[in-house]
A and B are shown apart, each in its own frame.
Chain A
């Protein structure tokens, strides 16, 4: 059965690579270092907003301009952690009004983070995330889920 381990795609010179399908918002890829730096400053801002009790803006800051890219793995991990901290610190009763505040793009990004969080149940609390998922789907519909699943710009 050793033939099953062959990477047959590498024999096809006309292969379509992952990064060819990737569309950057302004046409250039952000370097992993810059992405991490950006996420770090974002983290400080979010923490300040949370201590001030400004949860709505903390949520928006946390999910805004995610470190999209093929090589920005560290920045993505950090950003996910920031978003999860915000989601955990918001009271369950406030969720419906908060998701209604978000624009369609922001709702899509939030849904991406909810799925990202649920993919590592050992790190993040799935009960909280499922509650967010339910409330967000009520507002944004199943179209939001379909967009998250098809989108190559992962968080």
Chain B
């Protein structure tokens, strides 16, 4: 295990962050409308760019590792895709047409980096893709049956399925298949016919609590989600679900390190490792 490095970038909270592919740069939002990019310099980190295009708090940042593009979402209801211009050494923003009337809450690139999904308080998920014909980013909405703000998203490795956790206490798996952008995906455990907005799964842990985080396993055959009721649940296609009640405070973030291990982090300051023994989680 490598030692933890601690760097103080600013004195306020960090609302969102993303690393680039080789982790030499990090984009963070220091709890305002700006995105700051730091680059690693020896033992410390230096501020090299400040991206100030949003009007309100930035809620989500994601860095596409291969195409080296940033996408940022904000409470100002907008999302920008940022391209790095090597000639001028600047990040150039492109506005995305989201058509939402509430704050954007979360954003994630798809694994192939040709689409991204934006969660919002308008009870929709905007699935965005590049429209070659008009030369802009445009979006399609995943609407039903979301009943409240969407708080988190995660893409299935096949670039088509999208998981969403929402404030209506449910985690769902949608198809975000865009004709013309996606190849027809091979059948998965979640279904084989997947037109846009197919609901492949809807899960609740029974008692409720906002869903703070959703995460597909590396193979995409299992979905973990954590709620504000201090329960993390692992759901499988077809509806099987296993919930682990915790003695600690709720978790906000989950990362699968393998098919049998999940790292969870949340309100009690310490990341925790969950393991699937043969009897269960």
Contact = CB atoms under 8 A, between A and B. Distances in A.
Interface of A: 14, 16, 20-21, 23, 25, 104, 108, 140-144, 146-147, 150-153
A147 B209 contact: yes
Interface string B15-36: 0000000000000000000000
B148 interface: yes
Given A16-B168, A108-B245, A141-B247, A147 B206 contact: no
Contact of A23 (B147, B206, B249): B206
12 contacts: A14-B123, A21-B169, A23-B169, A104-B245, A141-B246, A142-B230, A142-B249, A143-B230, A143-B245, A144-B230, A146-B250, A147-B245
Given A21-B168, A23-B206, A151-B229, 6 more contacts: A108-B207, A141-B248, A142-B249, A143-B246, A150-B229, A152-B169
B227 interface: yes
Nearest to A14: B123
B207 A153 contact: yes
A143 B19 CA distance: 31
Contact of A150 (B147, B148, B209): B209
Interface in B187-228: 204, 206-210, 227-228
Contact of A151 (B168, B209, B210, B250): B209
A151 B250 CA distance: 13
Given A143-B246, A143-B248, A147-B231, A153 B208 contact: yes
B248 A151 contact: no
Nearest to B248: A143
Contacts of A143: 230, 245-250
A20 B246 contact: no
Contact of B148 (A16, A108, A141): A16
Contacts of B169: 21, 23, 152
A141 B230 CA distance: 11
Nearest to B250: A146
B241 to A, nearest CB: 12
Given A16-B168, A151-B229, A146 B249 contact: yes
Among A140, A143, A151, the one with the most B-chain Cβ atoms within 10 Å of its Cβ is: A143
Contacts of A16: 147-148, 168
A53 B246 CA distance: 33
Nearest to A25: B206
Nearest to B207: A151
Contacts of A142: 230, 247-249
A146 B206 contact: no
Given A25-B206, A147-B207, A147-B209, A20 B147 contact: yes
B236 to A, nearest CB: 19
A30 B252 CA distance: 34
B147 A152 contact: no
Nearest to A143: B230
B259 to A, nearest CB: 25
A108 B208 CA distance: 13
Nearest to A15: B147
Given A146-B230, A150-B229, A23 B245 contact: no
A146 B228 contact: yes
Contacts of A140: 247
A23 B204 contact: yes
The 6 closest A-B pairs by CB, nearest first: A141-B247, A143-B230, A150-B209, A143-B246, A150-B229, A146-B230
Interface in B104-152: 123, 147-148
